[in-house]
Structure 1
Amino acid sequence: MPLLKLRTNVIIANEKIPQLMSECSQLLASETGKPERYVMVDIEGGRDMLFGGSAEPLAYVECKSIGLSSEQATSLSQSISQLLSNSIDVSADRIYIEFSNCPAELWGWNGSTFG
């Protein structure tokens, strides 16, 4: 049920994508306390993007989960920013992260919902 969707203007080498996806998946599972088998990661690099009037490296992240707390969002913000800074060289002040706490009854999977 946790989802991390990353969009960035940084071109990510094809051979680095699996490692980054794995790191994002493990981080999200660990920080939310959800089994990794439910974590989904979507990464899109090389996008045309602008932030603050500049096309310097940047990232936009959507992070959604059932039961996501404000404390988890704060911790995830730091962890995700550090991961992206280390892996694709995007400065934390060039990253926006949108957090969403989705009600279980509004999250579908396997022909039903989690609610």
Structure 2
Amino acid sequence: MPRGTILLTNAWAIHRDPHLWEDPTSFKPERFEKEGESQKIMSFGLGRRACPGSGLAHRLINLTLGSLIQCLEWERIGEKVDMSEQKGGTMPKAKPLEAMCRARASVGKIFHEGG
């Protein structure tokens, strides 16, 4: 793909592809109960059936991650971080990350002053 290219993903077409789905225009939530079917969908969905909390989730993940970085000191346990992935809509890690954390000294002062 050339540099500067703008890529638009047509999620509507992906979710209605007759090569992937049996009767793609019908609403059938039970189809995702089959093994491997959940890998064909997009996280949070789109359109009228989209998750109503996706906007909140996208905002809170940044706040949560920022708070974890700001308030805690992190230390890796064991070997280097393995970045390989498993299959799934959220790209789970093949090997879970093991880390140790402890509150930064400045965080303890904030809680004692506020009490």
> Which range, TM-score by smaller chain?
under 0.3
More strand by share: 1
Question: Highest relative contact order (Cα 8 Å, sep 6+), 1 or 2?
Answer: 1
Q: TM-score with structure 2 length normalisation?
A: 0.23
Q: TM-score with structure 1 length normalisation?
A: 0.23
